[in-house]
Amino acid sequence: MLQRCIAIGASAGGVEALQDLVSRLPADLPAPVFVVLHIPPYAASSLPAILSKAGPLTAVHPQDGAKIENGCIYVAPPDHHLLIENGSLAVRIGPKENRFRPSIDALFRSTAYIYGSRAIGVILSGALDDGTSGLWSIKRLGGITIVQEPGQACFESMPRSALDYVEVDHILPSLEIGSLLGRLINEQPGPAVSVASKLMMLMHKEGQIAAEDGAFQKGIMELGRLTPFTCPECKGVLVKIAEGKMSRFRCHTGHAYTDNALLEAVMESIGEMLWQVIRSFEEGVMLLNHMGKHLEDSGDDSRAEVFFNKARELEKRSSTFHADVLNHESLSGDNLGQQSTASS
């Protein structure tokens, strides 16, 4: 029978919180610890060395298929999901979730599916809301949920999102979470929770998608309601998946978004398209001037002026888009929430 496990998710400001947490873990911790921290895919990660130095446990970037051992901290490598498969770890390059790989939701969801009521999920400092859906899954299957006190986090959006949508068991400063985990890990887990077969099937399929891709072939389109929205990454159609009070989206190629992450991605896509329009206008202006100059050098001034006039016209139209792109906002639930707080 599986013992307990600890799954931790963090993003912006999360390194300091992780150091605080692992510094208070017991040296004889009778459980594995799984960690996802959002970092750029192109950056080398020194997080295992940092965490090994901060506390009594050894932290590593595991290889795909590594056996799970108690008292070890397994850190997701850059650009790889960290997932749990019976008795071993899957380190895979599956579709991004909430625009991240590794994804906290993917780790938490697979942890909930394998460990059930023996799972303990922890959300630390971070922006946006990756981890909320996965923490809901851990809670739904009877696991224990812990969130860093938002006011103590460097970035409070991830902790606040978890508190908004999940009935969290413990809310603590990061320095107190490690000691709490040391106590909880030795307590008897609650009984296994019976949930609808559709939820278990969805969790199983989403774990497979994160590990292997192939969402369409795995029937993801039948597990949600079709929406008018498209995936900002691949332009595939999105289905809406309801979880408690929240909803999220997944496309047929596998990319997944909360509504917050989807809004941010859509607004970023608009900004990119505006810059592409400006570039196209400017290329048109340069080409018209080039052709006009060629005619002018050939002595055909009247035809050259037609091209020069059209270039000036395009330049004026381009200036309108310049104003639009400078006024374009990178919207998300985070900054809209901050604006509403400031205005109240």
Start-to-end C-alpha separation, the chain = 52
Question: Any idea which residue has 């048109």 for tokens?
Answer: 284
Cα–Cα distance, 62 to 107 (Å, whole number): 14
Q: Residue 220, class by beta-carbon neighbours within 10 Å (0-12 exposed, 13-18 middle, 19+ buried)?
A: buried
Question: Any idea which residue has 């906290």 for tokens?
Answer: 104
Q: Which of 20, 129, 130, 334 is catalytic?
A: 130
Question: Any idea which residue has 């992450």 for tokens?
Answer: 261
Greatest extent of the chain over all pairs of C-alpha atoms, in Å: 92
Q: Are 76 and 37 in contact (CB under 8 A)?
A: yes
Catalytic annotation on 38? yes
Q: Which of 38, 81, 252, 255 is catalytic?
A: 38
Q: Are 68 and 75 in contact (CB under 8 A)?
A: no
Q: Which of 11, 125, 133, 137 is catalytic?
A: 11
User: What does DSSP assign to residue 82?
Assistant: E
Q: At what angle do helices 174-184 and 14-23 cross, to 10 degrees?
A: 40
| Residue numbers annotated as active site | 11, 38, 130
